[in-house]
Amino acid sequence: MADRLANGDNAVRVIREWRDMIQGELAAAVGISQNYLSEIETGRPQRARRICSGNSPARWAVPIDLLIE
């Protein structure tokens, strides 16, 4: 896992896969669509950037917090 993170792989995807979760499971757990999670993991700028900026920075932390509990 550390190697993948060091190589620049998406942290949400790496930790999700390490926890043996599929996108649908994580998306349902945090209340977003699977498509939206896919955009986060692939770094598509339009929606992923909105998650990380503006009034909703905590929303970005939800998947990470859920995965590493």
32 exposed, middle or buried (CB, 10 Å; 0-12, 13-18, 19+)? middle
| Angle ∠(43,64,59) on CA atoms, nearest 5 | 70
Nearest CA to 51 among 63, 38, 60, 41? Answer: 60
pLDDT tens, position by position, 1-44: 888 888 888 888 998 899 899 999 988 888 888 988 898 888 77
* Spatial contact of 12 and 65, defined as CB atoms under 8 Å apart: no
What is residue 1's predicted lDDT score, i.e. its pLDDT?
80
pLDDT tens, position by position, 46-55: 554 555 544 5
